[in-house]
C-alpha cells in the first residue's frame, strides 16, 4: 500500500485534476451503483456532509440512540448543520421499522418535520451488528413513502457485505446518501467517500470546501484507498473468523460476558455487568500485559480485529482477557 502511495499520479483535487482521486471516486460510485462519489478526509466529515445534503437547518434527523453520528461526532450535526436529531433506543443499534414509523413527524404548525432517517452499517456500539437487507428495504419503502431521505453511515459496510453476501450495489440503491470508510477494516491510513447522485455530490464538494476538507495532491491518499479496495475487501472474512475465535475463548472463561453467536463481523463487545471488573479497570489490566481494549461505557469494552492482527495475536489476546475475567 505504501508503495502504491509513493507511486501515485497526482494533481490538484480542489480543481478536480487529481487522476488518482478521480479514479477512486469513479470506482466507489460504481461499486454502489450510484452516479458519483467524493473523497473526504474522514468518516465524520463524510457523515456530516451527507446529513446536510438531506436535512435542512432546523429540521429533523431520526436515528438510533447509539449511532456514531450522535455519539462520536462532536455534535457536528447541530453545530454545523443546525440539524435537530431525535433518537430511538434499538436492540443492537438496529432500528425497528414499526418504531421508526411511529416517530415520523410531518410538517405542520409548531412541529419540526422529520426529513431523513440514518442507519449505521455495521453498527459500532451494536457490536458490529449487520442490518438485514429486508429491514433496509422496508426502511427505504417507509421513508420514500413519506418523502424522506435515507442515509447510511457505512463505516463498515464492506464488513456487512462480506458477512451477509449482499452486494454493495444492493445496499447502494437503497440510500440517498452513503459515507463509506477506507480506513478501519480496509487498512487505508486516511479517508472516506461520500456516495450519492451527481447533483448531490456537486453540492457535497461545496460543503467539503466549507468544512476545510479540500485537499491538493490527495492522490497519495486515494492510492491507499484504491489498493485497499483491490486487496483488502475479501480478506475481511478472516477478521470475522478471528473475532469469533476471540469471543469463544473469552466466553469459555466468562460465559456471561460475551455471546460468540452474536459476533457477526470484526467487533467483540464485552458486557461486564456480571464481572468484578469495570471497563476502565479491565482495560488498564489488559494494557499492562500488552493487550489494548476500547472502553465504550462504564461496564462495556470492545475488541476489534483487523488486518494487522494475526492468529497468534488473537490467541494471546484471548488468553490474557480470559485469564483476567476468570480470576
> pLDDT tier at 118 (50, 70, 90 boundaries)?
very high
Using the 3D structure, point to which of 231, 258, 279 is the last residue of a domain. 231
Q: Are residue 221 and residue 242 in the same domain, yes or no?
A: no
Q: Are residues 21 and 125 in the same domain?
A: yes
Residue located via cell numbers 446518501: 177
| Shared domain check, 317 and 200 | no
The residue segments making up the domain with residue 76 are 2-231
Mean pLDDT of the chain: 96
Predicted local confidence at residue 281, as pLDDT:
97
Q: What is the mean pLDDT of residues 153-164?
A: 98
**Interval 141-151: pLDDT, tens:** 999 999 999 99
Cα 316 to Cα 188, 208, 303, 323: the distances in Å are 25, 42, 13, 11
Do 227 and 241 have their domain in common? Answer: no
Q: How confident is the model at residue 173 (pLDDT cuts 50, 70, 90)?
A: very high
Looking at the fold, whether 131 and 250 belong to one and the same domain comes out as: no
Domain-terminating residue out of 162, 196, 231: 231
DSSP state of 320: H
Asked if 46 and 180 sit in the same domain, the reply is yes
> For residue 253, what is its C-alpha cell?
472463561
Single residue among 180, 212, 231 that ends a domain in this structure: 231
Instruction: Give 282's contacts (C-beta < 8 A, 6+ positions apart).
Output: 270, 272, 275, 293, 301, 321, 324, 325
Q: Which percentage of the chain shows pLDDT scores above 90?
A: 98
Mean pLDDT of 82-94: 96
Question: 290: pLDDT confidence band, cut at 50, 70 and 90?
Answer: very high
pLDDT score of 327: 74
115 and 242 fall within a common domain:
no
User: Is it the case that residue 324 has pLDDT exceeding 80?
Assistant: yes
The answer on 269 and 159 residing in a single domain is: no
Residue 257 sits in the same domain as residue 179: no
The predicted structure's pLDDT at residue 250: 96
pLDDT band for position 110 (50/70/90)?
confident
Mean pLDDT of 123-133: 96
Residues 62 and 92 occupy one common structural domain? yes
Q: Is the pLDDT of residue 108 over 90?
A: no
Q: Is 64 helix (H, G, I), strand (E, B) or coil?
A: strand
Band (177; pLDDT cuts 50, 70, 90): very high
Find the CATH number of the domain harbouring 145: 3.40.640.10
Percent residues over pLDDT 70 in the chain: 100
How many domains does the chain contain in total? 2
Residue 259, all three cell numbers? 455471546
Q: Residues 311, 197: one domain? A: no
pLDDT the model gives residue 109: 82
Contacts of 12 (CB under 8 A, 6+ apart): 18, 216, 217
Taking only the tens place, the pLDDT of each residue in 5-62 is: 999 999 999 999 999 999 999 999 999 999 999 999 999 999 999 999 999 999 999 9
178 & 264 share domain: no
Q: What is the CATH number of the domain that holds 302?
A: 3.90.1150.10
pLDDT score of 285 = 97
Amino acid at each position: 500500500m505504501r508503495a502504491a502511495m509513493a507511486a501515485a499520479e497526482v494533481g490538484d483535487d480542489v480543481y478536480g485534476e487529481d487522476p488518482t482521486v478521480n479514479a477512486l471516486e469513479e470506482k466507489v460510485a460504481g461499486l454502489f451503483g450510484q452516479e458519483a462519489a467524493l473523497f473526504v478526509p474522514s468518516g465524520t466529515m463524510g457523515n456530516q456532509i451527507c446529513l446536510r445534503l438531506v436535512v435542512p437547518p432546523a429540521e429533523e434527523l431520526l436515528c438510533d440512540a447509539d449511532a456514531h453520528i450522535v455519539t462520536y461526532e462532536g455534535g457536528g450535526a447541530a453545530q454545523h448543520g443546525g440539524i435537530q436529531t431525535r433518537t430511538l433506543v434499538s436492540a443492537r443499534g438496529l432500528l425497528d421499522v414499526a418504531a421508526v414509523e411511529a416517530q415520523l413527524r410531518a410538517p405542520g404548525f409548531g412541529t419540526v418535520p422529520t426529513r431523513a432517517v440514518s442507519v449505521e452499517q455495521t453498527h459500532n456500539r451494536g457490536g458490529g451488528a449487520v442490518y438485514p437487507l429486508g429491514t433496509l428495504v422496508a426502511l427505504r419503502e417507509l421513508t420514500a413513502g413519506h418523502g424522506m431521505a435515507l442515509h447510511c453511515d457505512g463505516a463498515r459496510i464492506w464488513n456487512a457485505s462480506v458477512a451477509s453476501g449482499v452486494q454493495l450495489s444492493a445496499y447502494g440503491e437503497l440510500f440517498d446518501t452513503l459515507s463509506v470508510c477506507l480506513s478501519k477494516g480496509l487498512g487505508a491510513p486516511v479517508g472516506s467517500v461520500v456516495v450519492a447522485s451527481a447533483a448531490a455530490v456537486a453540492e457535497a464538494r461545496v460543503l467539503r470546501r466549507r468544512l476545510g476538507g479540500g485537499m491538493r495532491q490527495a492522490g497519495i491518499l486515494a492510492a491507499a484507498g484504491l489498493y485497499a479496495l483491490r486487496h483488502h475487501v475479501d480478506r475481511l472474512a478472516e477478521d470475522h473468523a478471528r473475532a469469533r475465535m476471540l469471543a469463544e475463548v473469552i466466553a469459555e472463561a466468562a460465559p456471561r460476558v460475551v455471546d460468540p453467536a452474536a459476533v457477526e463481523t470484526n467487533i467483540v463487545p464485552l458486557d461486564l455487568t456480571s464481572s468484578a471488573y469495570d471497563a476502565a479497570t479491565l482495560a488498564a489490566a489488559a494494557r499492562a500485559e500488552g493487550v489494548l481494549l476500547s472502553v465504550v461505557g462504564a461496564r462495556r469494552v470492545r475488541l476489534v480485529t483487523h488486518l494487522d492482527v494475526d492468529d497468534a495475536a488473537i490467541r494471546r489476546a484471548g488468553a490474557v482477557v480470559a485469564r483476567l475475567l476468570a480470576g
